[in-house]
Structure 1
Amino acid sequence: MDYISTRDASRTPATFTDILLGGLAPDGGLYLPAEYPQLDDATLTQWRGLVDQPGGYAKLAAEVLKLFIDDIPAEDIECIAARAYTTEKFASEDIVPVTRLTGDLYIGHLSEGPTAAFKDMAMQLLGELFEYELARRGETLNILGATSGDTGSSAEYAMRGRDGIRVFMLTPAGRMTPFQQAQMFGLDDPNIFNIALDGVFDDCQDVVKGVSADADFKRDNRIGAVNSINWARLMAQIVYYVSCWIRVTESNEQKVSFSVPTGNFGDICAGHIARSMGLPIDKLIVATNENDVLDEFFRTGHYRVRSSAETHETSSPSMDISRASNFERFVFDLLGRDGARIADLFGTQVKQGGFSLNEDAAFTDTAEKFGFLSATSSHADRVATIAECYKDLGVLMDPHTADGVKAAREWADTVDSPIVCLETALPVKFADTIKEALGTEPEVPERFRDIMNADRHVVDLPNDADKVKEFILEAIAEAPEIAN
């Protein structure tokens, strides 16, 4: 299995383990398989028989991973998946249980992991892959990431205490909920570094890209990525699309649609790839909040990025994103994998404010060929959805999942298949909004009882890639033994 950059017209091949540790491509593009593996009926039947076995999700994950990885032995992949998806780490034996909300609308529960967010699904696997490959090579890695709320804690909990790894996580100062901040800033592990930047998530993401674009710095300091710019994140997320599809259907011919709360387009991009592989997915519903850059594109063909000042601070903060990194992967497929054109659109035009594809014949394929629909919601919408689902159905959901349910309901009459809304996080992470909707705060699960009481460990820095590089160098110099 070869991997190529979305911006490389010559399609220079790379191996899985090389892109695992490198993250962003040297030309600024994102890696994708040179070709997507294709699923047949026999494979789907085999997978269908795995999910209800003991350790079934891990077994399914291993089979999916083998399609994308040919430079790690199959038996090692099985062991890696088995370590990543255990009941010691996840609160449900199913790992991703699926429950019916009402009628043909289901919830895929992705928040059973150690930080109560869907990011755990990929991060726990990524931690195992990183540690395995670094040990095999005798190398070290300094991970640089950005978070709008959940990626940071999921990454830190997946990487804390691992040999050969440091984590430097950028957060937008004051933009996360108190619970999200406590999860991250409460960690006191010597290989974890929290950095609060003066800006919004997009600024943090730009700094990550800016540091990664310095090829010498990246090489000399072994800089890697855990954000969804890292292909391994999306690869891991494909697994729960397969698992949810199996749990909702009875035959390989039956299709399922997914409604996915998304800001950075990573979660739903995994669904796009699963659909491209032949998984029977009908529609992929892009659910956004007031930061509706993706909804605007799928309605109009215009991709108009917003400035930091134009990025709204909302009650579904993990989606407060106005430049969706993974969107480049989809547009690469949409435009026939034209690396030169993608380099122009995302390397040049996005910096000038965006681009338009509304007059491009390919744009008409977003719904028909690729299955995409979209919807947006407001604070009032998500508060009403939370209140209604709790009152009428006894189901409590977080604000992002409420955005997904609202979008699913908006399209339910025109979609001819069951819809699975992918859960984003547990309600406890967004207590203020839950209290507004219900009048009471959500119950705190036992495993999170003391999280708000820990001391905070975070450094404030300006929104400046050079300052972040200086901090990384100082951290390495002060404790070189951490990553040896």
Structure 2
Amino acid sequence: MRYLSTRALGADDAKPFCDILLEGLAADGGLFLPEQYPQVHADTLEEWRGLLDAEGYAALAARLIGLFIDDVPAGDLERLSAAAYTAQKFSDPRIVPVTRIGAGPLWLGHLSNGPTAAFKDMAMQLLGELFEYELARRGSWMTILGATSGDTGSSAEYAMRGRAGISVVMLTPAGRMTPFQQAQMFSLTDANIVNVAVKGVFDDCQDLVKAVNADAGFKARYHLGAVNSINWARLMAQVVYYFACWLRVTDGPGQAISFSVPTGNFGDICAGHIARAMGLPIGRLILATNENDVLDEFFRTGVYRPRGSAQTRATSSPSMDISKASNFERFIADLYGRDGARVRELFAAVAEDGFFDISGTPQFEAMRSGYGFVSGSSTHADRIATIGRLRREYGVLVDPHTADGVKVAEQHAAVGEPIVVLETALPVKFADTIEEATGQPPPVPERFAHIEEGPRRVVELPNDVDALRGLVVSTVESLSNRPAEAGRPEKKETS
């Protein structure tokens, strides 16, 4: 299996999995995709149903990701997957249980049983294992440069903390995360973890990361890698839980179910798009946004119009306070048949004009009829009402992002069609909103008791590319967790 950039013109630059695992963002600014999606047929799904029942989620994950990876032995993939998905890490031997909400069409796919109580753990735990494995094979090291709107950062840091050859520089929008999210990240004191509060919103953080990655020389010299969903390996790992949820809700081949997915960066639902393209019987992919409804607008109208920092609203589902969906480019590449030139043109139009418009094109009609997407948005009032109603009527407590998914799923519910709402995080991460909705604070799992009471360690940074480069340089120079044979950059070349 080889991988190409979404902006590539041909197959000459195709790369194997382990190269793009460490590279993250492609040199041309595009995102990596496999040359083709492997196809999974009904007999394989039934085989995997038995595998999931008998051997568990880790065995299913190893089998599925093995379809995308041919430069890691199958036995090593099984070992890495088994290390990533343990009951000790995920507080449930099923890893991804699925439960029904009352007797209606909606189900919850529980993705938040991991170390940081967020669905990001589902991919990040595997990513940590893959990174450490491949770096050891190469005798190399990596500086992970990432951005988070709330949950990606803590999931990445808990997956990478203490790992040999890996340091993490994670950007966050100053003052935009909940106290619990801040505490999860800023309380870490591991030497290889550097938390950064940027004066701006998440999109500013993401733009800084992309700008530094666009400097090919700097990226190579400081071994920059990515854990955001721009990294294909993370998206690949997320595909697994769509298959697991389908296997746990259905009882035979060919049954179609739909998924409702809260999303701001288009990563979570892009994994669903890939699962559907692989042959998983998914009826509809229901995209749910909050008040920052750029993606909802696109799927309704064909106009993709990211907003600036000033127009990106701070909401009570803060992990979706995003207006530039970086993973969206992967879907556009598929929509346009992997026409790299056209993809470049569309995103150049966004950079120059602030939008692109595909309404009235064959691609827009194909998107509406052939890809299964529908969409909707949710407000703070919707979230409060949904959280309160689910608690009163069903004894089910969900976080604000999952409430967005439930609300939009209910808008699109059809008779006889099961819809799995993908859970985003545990309610404990959003205590103020939960208390507003239910009149009570959310329960605090024992492992998170007193997390907000400890000291914090965070670096403040202006919204400036040169300042970020300087921080990366100082981080690399100060850490000694890289193999000696890999060497270190000389200080005279740090600018």
How far off is 1:478 after superposition?
A: 2.3
Label 1:378 to 1:483 Cα distance change in 2 as closer, same or farther (>3 A): farther
State the match for 2:490 in structure 1. Answer: none
How far off is 1:299 after superposition?
A: 0.5
2:192/2:479 contact within 8 Å kept = no
2:105/2:416 contact within 8 Å kept = no
State the match for 2:326 in structure 1. Answer: 325
TM-score (norm 2): 0.96
2:199/2:461 contact within 8 Å kept = yes
How far off is 1:335 after superposition?
A: 1.2
Once residues 158 and 446 of structure 1 are traced to their aligned partners in structure 2, the CA distance between those partners, rounded to angstroms, is: 20
Once residues 220 and 254 of structure 2 are traced to their aligned partners in structure 1, the CA distance between those partners, rounded to angstroms, is: 47
Does residue 123 (structure 1) correspond to residue 124 (structure 2)? The answer is yes
State the match for 1:447 in structure 2. Answer: 447
Cα RMSD (Å): 1.0
Paired AA for residue 314 in structure 1? T
2:139/2:483 contact within 8 Å kept = no
2:141/2:165 contact within 8 Å kept = yes
How far off is 1:61 after superposition?
A: 0.1
Once residues 125 and 372 of structure 2 are traced to their aligned partners in structure 1, the CA distance between those partners, rounded to angstroms, is: 29
State the match for 1:247 in structure 2. Answer: 248
2:305/2:350 contact within 8 Å kept = no
Aligned runs of 1:308-457 on 2, under 5 Å?
308-413=309-414, 417-457=417-457
State the match for 2:135 in structure 1. Answer: 134
Once residues 224 and 349 of structure 2 are traced to their aligned partners in structure 1, the CA distance between those partners, rounded to angstroms, is: 24
Paired AA for residue 46 in structure 2? T
Does residue 470 (structure 1) correspond to residue 479 (structure 2)? The answer is no
How far off is 1:481 after superposition?
A: 4.2
Paired AA for residue 276 in structure 1? A
How far off is 1:475 after superposition?
A: 1.7
State the match for 1:292 in structure 2. Answer: 293
How far off is 1:346 after superposition?
A: 1.6
1:190/1:482 contact within 8 Å kept = no
Once residues 344 and 185 of structure 2 are traced to their aligned partners in structure 1, the CA distance between those partners, rounded to angstroms, is: 35
How far off is 1:297 after superposition?
A: 0.3
Aligned-partner SS, 2:447: helix
Aligned-partner SS, 1:50: helix
Once residues 267 and 352 of structure 2 are traced to their aligned partners in structure 1, the CA distance between those partners, rounded to angstroms, is: 20
State the match for 2:189 in structure 1. Answer: 188
State the match for 2:8 in structure 1. Answer: 8
Once residues 273 and 431 of structure 2 are traced to their aligned partners in structure 1, the CA distance between those partners, rounded to angstroms, is: 32
2:166/2:481 contact within 8 Å kept = no
Aligned-partner SS, 1:32: strand
Once residues 360 and 463 of structure 1 are traced to their aligned partners in structure 2, the CA distance between those partners, rounded to angstroms, is: 38
Once residues 135 and 348 of structure 1 are traced to their aligned partners in structure 2, the CA distance between those partners, rounded to angstroms, is: 41
How far off is 1:252 after superposition?
A: 1.3
Once residues 197 and 434 of structure 1 are traced to their aligned partners in structure 2, the CA distance between those partners, rounded to angstroms, is: 27
State the match for 1:44 in structure 2. Answer: 45
Aligned runs of 1:219-234 on 2, under 5 Å?
219-234=220-235
How far off is 1:351 after superposition?
A: 4.6
1:166/1:483 contact within 8 Å kept = no
What are the Cα deviations for residues 65-101 of structure 1, in whole angstroms up to 9, with x where unaligned? 1100000001000001000000110111100000001
TM-score (norm 1): 0.98
What are the Cα deviations for residues 126-183 of structure 1, in whole angstroms up to 9, with x where unaligned? 0000000000000000000000000000000000000000000000000000000000
1:141/1:483 contact within 8 Å kept = no
2:349/2:356 contact within 8 Å kept = no
**Number of residue pairs matched by the alignment:** 482
**Unpaired segments ≥5 residues, structure 1:** none
State the match for 1:62 in structure 2. Answer: 62
1:305/1:350 contact within 8 Å kept = no
2:141/2:482 contact within 8 Å kept = no
Once residues 121 and 191 of structure 1 are traced to their aligned partners in structure 2, the CA distance between those partners, rounded to angstroms, is: 22
What are the Cα deviations for residues 354-393 of structure 1, in whole angstroms up to 9, with x where unaligned? 1000021111122321000001010000100000000011
How far off is 1:421 after superposition?
A: 0.1
How far off is 1:352 after superposition?
A: 2.7
1:263/1:318 contact within 8 Å kept = yes
Aligned-partner SS, 2:210: helix
1:107/1:423 contact within 8 Å kept = yes
Aligned-partner SS, 1:96: coil
Once residues 117 and 143 of structure 1 are traced to their aligned partners in structure 2, the CA distance between those partners, rounded to angstroms, is: 20
Identity %, equivalent residues: 64
Aligned-partner SS, 1:175: coil
State the match for 2:274 in structure 1. Answer: 273
Aligned runs of 1:137-176 on 2, under 5 Å?
137-176=138-177
How far off is 1:10 after superposition?
A: 1.8
State the match for 1:479 in structure 2. Answer: 479
Aligned-partner SS, 1:287: strand
Aligned-partner SS, 1:420: strand
State the match for 1:459 in structure 2. Answer: 459
Moved over 4 A (4+): 481-484
Once residues 33 and 180 of structure 1 are traced to their aligned partners in structure 2, the CA distance between those partners, rounded to angstroms, is: 33
How far off is 1:416 after superposition?
A: 5.1
What are the Cα deviations for residues 269-321 of structure 1, in whole angstroms up to 9, with x where unaligned? 00000000000111000000000000000000000110000000000000000
2:123/2:235 contact within 8 Å kept = yes
Aligned runs of 1:254-269 on 2, under 5 Å?
254-269=255-270
Label 1:483 to 1:457 Cα distance change in 2 as closer, same or farther (>3 A): farther
Label 1:398 to 1:319 Cα distance change in 2 as closer, same or farther (>3 A): same
What are the Cα deviations for residues 395-425 of structure 1, in whole angstroms up to 9, with x where unaligned? 0000000000001000003x75210000000
Once residues 178 and 267 of structure 1 are traced to their aligned partners in structure 2, the CA distance between those partners, rounded to angstroms, is: 24
How far off is 1:350 after superposition?
A: 3.8
2:180/2:429 contact within 8 Å kept = yes
Aligned-partner SS, 1:53: helix
How far off is 1:450 after superposition?
A: 2.3
2:31/2:329 contact within 8 Å kept = yes
Once residues 364 and 116 of structure 1 are traced to their aligned partners in structure 2, the CA distance between those partners, rounded to angstroms, is: 38
Paired AA for residue 163 in structure 1? A
State the match for 1:97 in structure 2. Answer: 97
Label 1:96 to 1:481 Cα distance change in 2 as closer, same or farther (>3 A): closer
Paired AA for residue 445 in structure 2? P
Paired AA for residue 216 in structure 2? A
Once residues 347 and 156 of structure 2 are traced to their aligned partners in structure 1, the CA distance between those partners, rounded to angstroms, is: 26
1:24/1:212 contact within 8 Å kept = yes
1:191/1:482 contact within 8 Å kept = no
Once residues 146 and 121 of structure 1 are traced to their aligned partners in structure 2, the CA distance between those partners, rounded to angstroms, is: 18
State the match for 2:85 in structure 1. Answer: 85
Once residues 281 and 171 of structure 2 are traced to their aligned partners in structure 1, the CA distance between those partners, rounded to angstroms, is: 37
How far off is 1:53 after superposition?
A: 2.1
1:263/1:288 contact within 8 Å kept = yes
